Amino acid sequence: MKKLIFFYVSIFISFTASAQTLEQFMSHPIEYNLATSPDGKHIAWVINDHGKRNILTKSGTDLPRLLTEYQLDDGQELSNLTFSPNGTKLLYVRGSGGNRVGQNPNPASLPEGAEQAIYYKELSSKNPPAKITAGSNPVFFKDGIRFLFSRGGQLFESPLDINATPKPLFLARGTNHSPRFSPDGNEVLFVSERGDHSFIGVYNLLRKSIRWIAPDVTNDDFPVWSPDGKQIAFIRSPGTKVGELSNLTGGVKFSIYVADAQSGMAKPIWKSPAEDGGFAQYYVNTPLAWLPSGRVLFFSEHNGWNHIYSITETGNDLKDITPGDGEVESFVADATGKFIYFDGNRTDINRRHIWKADVTVGNPTEVTSGEGIEMYPTLAGNVLYAFRATSNTSKTLVRVDEASKATVQVNSQKLPTFSTAAFVKPEPVLLKAADGTSLHAQLFINRTISNKRPGLVFMHGGPIRQMLLGFHYSDYYINCYAFNQYMASQGYAVLSVNFRSGTGYGRDFRRAKNQGPRGASEYQDVVAAAKYLQALPEVDASKIGLWGGSYGGYLTAMGLARNPEIFKAGVDVHGVHDWAFRAREFSSGGSWGITEQDMEVAYRSSPISDLSKWTAPVLVIHGDDDRNVLFQQSTDLVEKLRDKNVPVEVLVLPDEVHGFLRYESWKQVFERAKDFFDRRLK
What would the pLDDT profile of 204-217 be if each residue is shown by its tens digit?
A: 999 999 999 999 99
DSSP state of 518: G
Per-residue pLDDT at 2: 36
Pairs from 307-316 (Cβ < 8 Å, separation ≥ 24) = 308/340, 308/342, 308/357, 309/270, 310/359, 310/360, 310/362, 311/256, 311/269, 311/270, 312/269, 313/226, 313/231, 313/233, 313/258, 313/269, 314/269, 315/268, 315/269, 315/270
H/E stretch holding 14: helix 2-19
Q: Is residue 550 part of a domain?
A: yes
What would the pLDDT profile of 225-254 be if each residue is shown by its tens digit?
A: 999 999 999 999 999 999 999 999 999 999
Domain boundary among 104, 134, 169: 169
Could you tell me the CATH number of the domain that includes residue 120?
2.130.10.120
Asked if residue 12 has pLDDT above 50, the reply is: no
d(CA 550, CA 2): 50
What would the pLDDT profile of 561-615 be if each residue is shown by its tens digit?
A: 999 999 999 999 999 999 999 999 999 999 999 999 999 999 999 999 999 999 9
Q: Is residue 582 part of a domain?
A: yes
Q: Is residue 290 part of a domain?
A: no
| Nearest residue to 605 (alpha-carbon basis) of 514, 530, 500 | 514
Average pLDDT, the chain: 95
What would the pLDDT profile of 320-349 be if each residue is shown by its tens digit?
A: 999 999 999 999 999 999 999 999 999 999
Q: Is residue 578 part of a domain?
A: yes
Q: Could you give the 3-state DSSP secondary structure of residue 255?
A: strand
The residue type of 68 is T
d(CA 555, CA 461): 9
Domain boundary among 140, 169, 198: 169
Strands (E), 550-675: 567-573, 618-623, 648-653
| Nearest residue to 673 (alpha-carbon basis) of 25, 207, 206, 87 | 25
Binned at pLDDT 50, 70 and 90, residue 18 comes out as: low
Predicted TM-score (pTM) of this structure? 0.95
* Number of domain units in the chain: 2
d(CA 662, CA 88): 31
Domain boundary among 142, 169, 196: 169
d(CA 53, CA 69): 8
Could you tell me the CATH number of the domain that includes residue 616?
3.40.50.1820
Q: Is residue 405 part of a domain?
A: no
| Nearest residue to 83 (alpha-carbon basis) of 116, 51, 55, 62 | 55
What would the pLDDT profile of 359-374 be if each residue is shown by its tens digit?
A: 999 999 999 999 999 9
What would the pLDDT profile of 392-420 be if each residue is shown by its tens digit?
A: 999 999 999 999 999 999 998 776 778 88
H/E stretch holding 193: strand 187-193
Span 145-161, average pLDDT: 96
What would the pLDDT profile of 304-323 be if each residue is shown by its tens digit?
A: 999 999 999 999 999 999 99
Q: Are 136 and 147 in contact (CB under 8 A)?
A: no
Binned at pLDDT 50, 70 and 90, residue 483 comes out as: very high
Q: What is the 3-state secondary structure (H, E, C) of 304-325?
A: CCCEEEEECCCCCCCEECCCCC
Q: Are 510 and 502 in contact (CB under 8 A)?
A: yes
Strands (E), 17-74: 30-36, 42-49, 52-59, 65-66
H/E stretch holding 237: strand 231-237
d(CA 171, CA 222): 21
Partners of 44 in the β-ladder: 35, 57
Q: Is residue 113 part of a domain?
A: yes
Asked if residue 510 has pLDDT above 60, the reply is: yes
120 CB neighbour count, 10 Å cutoff: 21
Its sign, for the CA torsion 586, 590, 596, 600, is: negative
Q: Is residue 266 part of a domain?
A: no
Q: Is residue 301 part of a domain?
A: no
Which of 18-22, 201-205, 248-252 has the weakest average pLDDT? 18-22
| Nearest residue to 118 (alpha-carbon basis) of 75, 152, 79, 60 | 79
Residue 489 lies in domain = 427-681
